[in-house]
Chains A and B, each alone.
Chain A
């Protein structure tokens, strides 16, 4: 079983600043990693798949990087609509999500 760990649990950022979220897998998942954004009362929305490919309609300020066991989601200049919870998900084997990172307004 592959365990996925996200850090930090909460990230306080001012609008316009850069946010960097981390995701670690307990064993290599190659680039079989996705990132989702979830706002209260809404389903998750796919942001990134294949560790670094933006999904359709996702703004360029969102970028993903990494391979193997270490991954990063960066949001270059936070907009008001970006304050949300972000989950990473490995799909190299049985699906597993990280516990989420809440990005809140500083």
Chain B
């Protein structure tokens, strides 16, 4: 079955960088688009970034554009989120989520357990 596991989170100071990883298994990773979605403590869900199956298309929420970069390594079945210039408002649980399609907008059919990122001095 589909299995997603995020890693790389933790506590980081404002202005610093962090890279999240999402290891995938149980499906043909290279065939499907992927997303990052986050949830601030006690708040709702916020979509963060999208990458197509081959990495040729990438889209970002306005709140992270220019600071975050989504990427993938299909040979390693791993999704990444490079987060630079972190702010206190980036504090959240970050989820990786699968798309049922190779590209384009869609619902999120499988989710990882999430990884907490805390931005604090």
Contact = CB atoms under 8 A, between A and B. Distances in A.
Nearest to A34: B107
Contact of A95 (B44, B95, B105, B109): B105
A43 B47 contact: no
B113 A43 contact: yes
Contacts of A91: 105-107
Given A43-B111, A44-B111, A45-B111, A97 B105 contact: no
A89 interface: yes
A14 to B, nearest CB: 26
A96 interface: yes
Nearest to B95: A43
B27 interface: no
Interface in A51-106: 55, 87, 89, 91-100
Contacts of A44: 45, 95, 108, 111
Contacts of A95: 35, 47, 50, 105
A34 B47 contact: no
Given A43-B95, A43-B113, A97 B46 contact: yes
B14 interface: no
Interface in B97-120: 105-114
Contact of B105 (A43, A92, A99): A92
Contacts of B105: 32, 91-95
A93 B47 CA distance: 12
B84 to A, nearest CB: 22
Interface of B: 35, 44-47, 50, 59, 61, 95, 105-114
12 contacts: A36-B108, A43-B111, A44-B108, A44-B111, A46-B110, A91-B105, A94-B61, A94-B105, A95-B35, A95-B105, A96-B47, A100-B45
